[in-house]
Amino acid sequence: MKITDILSEDLVLPALAGRSKDDVIEELARAVAERHRDEVDFAKLVQALEDREKLNSTALGEGVAIPHGKLPGLRRVIAAFGRSPGGVDFSSLDGKPTHLFFLLVAPEDCAGAHLKALARISRLLKDESFRQRLMRATTAADLYRTIREEDEKY
């Protein structure tokens, strides 16, 4: 699975406005719900993401978080990417602000694809130079191109 199979450029947000964990979750969820109106209910998506965060934070450290959840009725895994240049307290294990967010939403009965997407994203984001390139990119198109180029290496 490639990230570009589940992420489209119109779901890349280069400057998240949210300043809290809840704000960022809602902002990314709203983008997904607006883009996929026929299969994603905004309120249900926010609830699924918040329920997952209550188990433990999806912030991995190093400025990265992968909020994720499952929704009934969804036909495939969908991703959104957001960047917060100033950083957000996302309850990261390292206590540092989180800047890079990959939101994943998967069908309720599709654990395999969900886990493959999580693993792929987390593997790519372990690369410090990739994270730095994401922080330097200026537009949604630049961010998407950076993600696509890194995705094609593996």
Alpha helices in 1-154 (DSSP H): 21-35, 42-55, 111-125, 128-136, 140-152
Q: What are the extents of the domains in the chain? A: 3-152
The stretch 56-62 carries a mean pLDDT of 95
Which of 36, 68, 99, 114 is catalytic? The answer is: 68
Q: What is the pLDDT of residue 109?
A: 85
Q: Buried (b) or exposed (e) across 92-117, using 16+ Cβ within 10 A? A: beeeeebbbbbbbbbbeebeebbeeb
36 is catalytic: no
Q: What is the pLDDT of residue 154?
A: 77
CATH number of 3-152: 3.40.930.10
pTM: 0.95
One-letter amino acid of 125 = L
Mean of all residue pLDDT scores within the chain: 95
Q: What is the pLDDT of residue 1?
A: 85
**Residue 142 pLDDT > 90:** yes
Which pair of structure tokens corresponds to residue 136?
């330097």
The stretch 76-97 carries a mean pLDDT of 96
